[in-house]
């Protein structure tokens, strides 16, 4: 029970990687706040956690709206009294085409959801962590935050930005007792990536040529996140942890 009585807020916790993060951290004793724009999905995650004996709370949120974020924080503090862990996991894909074909709307939307939301969530929660003497922020970047790929210019730019933001936040708040780290998953088998993780998908050759030679499973990412959220990772600051079967070393 490495996270006993810790309170973890997970954006995008209603499905895919976010759901697995919630389940694994709850398994280690954390009280989970499932923050998702899809309330039905969020409530399903809560049911899964409660069925296993854990504690969870669902909050419907649009992570790019400051008012929603402030309401979330107020509710969490009212219910649990603290926020110890923030997993900035909410994200979307883009148009996956070349730069000159990408629309401004896709660029703006992907950068807003995948990067600006992390800034907004961190900006709002960091003062709480400072006041209580520390906390952990884990940002979901991507292998596309390390290398260029078929993910597209807006997604790749956003995820590179996530890694830069992670380093800057660590630099600014490490001495306040706040650890900030990022993970860089490869293509993981989730509903979001179902259309990509097949032989005709744009990442198949890259994934199969990597040392692991396969797609990842959500639990493989969630176990690393749970470790990073715990005291076992207390000396890891500001780094991005690739969890991609070796695809970024090629």
User: Where in the sequence numbering do the catalytic residues fall?
Assistant: 155
Q: Give exposure, 18-43, as e/b (b: 16+ Cβ within 10 Å).
A: bbbbbbbbbbbebbbbbbbbeeebbb
Reference 132, options 86, 168, 177; nearest CA is 177
User: Are residues 93 and 115 in contact, defined by beta-carbon separation less than 8 angstroms?
Assistant: no
Q: Which tokens in the block code for residue 139?
A: 């940002």
Tokens 């797609």 map to which residue?
215
Measured CA to CA in angstroms, residue 111 lies from 63, 85, 155, 162, 167 at distances of 12, 23, 7, 10, 18
Measured CA to CA in angstroms, residue 37 lies from 84, 109, 224 at distances of 22, 15, 25
User: Are residues 107 and 154 in contact, defined by beta-carbon separation less than 8 angstroms?
Assistant: yes
Question: Any alpha helices (H) in the chain, and if so which ranges?
Answer: 16-27, 39-51, 66-79, 104-111, 117-132, 153-173, 204-209, 218-229
């Amino acid at each position: 029970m490495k996270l006993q009585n810790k309170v973890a807020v997970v954006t995008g916790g209603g499905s895919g990687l976010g759901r697995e993060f919630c389940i694994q951290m709850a398994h280690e004793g954390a009280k989970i706040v499932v923050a998702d724009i899809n309330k039905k999905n969020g409530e399903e995650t809560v049911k899964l956690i409660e069925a296993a004996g854990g504690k969870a709370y669902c909050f419907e949120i649009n992570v790019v709206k400051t008012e929603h974020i402030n309401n979330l924080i107020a509710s969490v503090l009212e219910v649990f009294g603290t926020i110890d862990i923030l997993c900035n996991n909410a994200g979307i894909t883009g148009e996956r085409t070349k730069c000159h074909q990408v629309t401004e709307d896709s660029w703006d939307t992907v950068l807003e959801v995948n990067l600006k939301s992390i800034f907004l969530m961190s900006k709002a929660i960091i003062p709480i962590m400072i006041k209580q003497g520390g906390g952990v922020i884990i940002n979901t970047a991507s292998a596309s935050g390390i290398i260029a790929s078929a993910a597209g210019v807006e997604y790749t730019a956003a995820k590179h930005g996530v890694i830069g933001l992670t380093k800057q936040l660590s630099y600014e708040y490490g001495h306040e007792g706040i650890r900030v780290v990022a993970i860089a998953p490869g293509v993981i088998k989730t509903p979001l990536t179902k259309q990509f993780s097949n032989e005709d998908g744009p990442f198949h050759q890259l994934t199969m040529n990597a040392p692991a030679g396969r797609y990842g499973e959500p639990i493989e990412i969630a176990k690393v996140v749970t470790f990073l959220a715990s005291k076992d990772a207390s000396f890891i600051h500001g780094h991005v942890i690739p969890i991609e079967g070796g695809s970024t070393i090629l």
